[in-house]
Amino acid sequence: RPWQGQQEQVEMNTRPEYDPKDYLGPGNTRSGGQVNPKYTDTFVFDNDFMALLPDTPAQSMGDLDLLNYHNGTAGNIASDQPSAEDSLFVAKTVRGRCRVVCFSPKLNVTVAEMDVASLRKVVDAWTEEYKFLGGLPYIGYVQIFENKGAMNGCSNAHPHGQIWATEYIPEFPQRELANLKNYYLKNKRHMLEDYVKMEMEKKERIVCENDSFLCLVPFWAVWPFESMVIAKKRVPSLLQFDDKLKNDLADMYRQITCRYDNLFKCEFPYSMGLHQASTLDGIDKADEYAHFWMSFHPPLLRSATVRKFMVGFELLCEAQRDLTAEQAAERLAALPEVHYRVSMKP
């Protein structure tokens, strides 16, 4: 339909390779006063404004058996009937850590313009952090993600991502891991291995692939150009990756983000997240069922200036697709793997 709604501003990359005012730049001073080392590839540090703290005092309100039940960490609700207040107002404090991963010392690049060797170092940093944070005795889940673009809430254009490690498994991963487990117990097969096999047979929603990973627009996609990068064979987490898997993941990270930029000739915004096993020890057996994949949730719809809004019926009832998964995949698959800025250079 004709669009007379909000038009976004196109983010033009006029950034220099280095800016002394860039909080995340090598050798620069961050807003909290800390000085970055003069790093040459990746740099990881504790977020200066952590939403989760490792020393948060344990406090709670309401009937925690209800909270644990819904978080999947308790088998039964207490037999004693809780009061109405204890049933409705249930909360507890959570410990955790928040980390920042700078992907490159250069301010004027994005993942889409980095080479595989550089992105392999990002994958290595993710792996080290997943092992370190997941090894802390109070951490149950490690969420690695990237927000790209001001439209997606990114406050600094320097190429970077974040890691939030939580004491419990958050709602969405908990639901996902439970579904993977239930599917296996019922069918004696792994859900996402079945899904990958069917998508490779149908060839209707595939964007690109390499030896280890498949990139596709999932059948259940909500955002117009939503995609997933999934291991062809089940691997629970980054800890089980060998060199081949790490290199192939870096390659797919570059391929899909480059296609995104090429779609509307812009720095295509998105939120990306890794989906993998939890790190709870003895409580959750996610390693037996988890399957590593990446999800990309980009908001752009028709052009670099028109985004999708989750409002009205979609906010109150359920999401609606503006184009089919097959149409989105066909458009993304047809795009070149060479970044549009390269072809613009004299």
Q: How far are the Cα atoms of 144, 160, 183 from residue 288, in angstroms, in the given order?
A: 21, 31, 12
Given the residues 160, 190, 275, 291, the one annotated as active site: 160
145 touches 161 (CB < 8 A): yes
Rounded Cα distance between 108 and 115, Å, is 14
CA atoms within 13 A on the CB side of 153: 10
Rounded Cα distance between 109 and 267, Å, is 10
Q: How far are the Cα atoms of 13, 67, 305 from residue 271, in angstroms, in the given order?
A: 19, 28, 17
Q: What backbone phi and psi angles, to 5 degrees, belong to 262?
A: -70, -20
Residue 49: both structure tokens together: 């404004």
271 bridge partner residues: 147, 297
Residue 133: both structure tokens together: 């944070």
126 touches 238 (CB < 8 A): yes
Q: How far are the Cα atoms of 58, 298, 326 from residue 221, in angstroms, in the given order?
A: 38, 11, 10
Q: Is 275 one of the catalytic residues?
A: no
Residue 242: both structure tokens together: 């060998």
**Residues tagged active-site:** 160
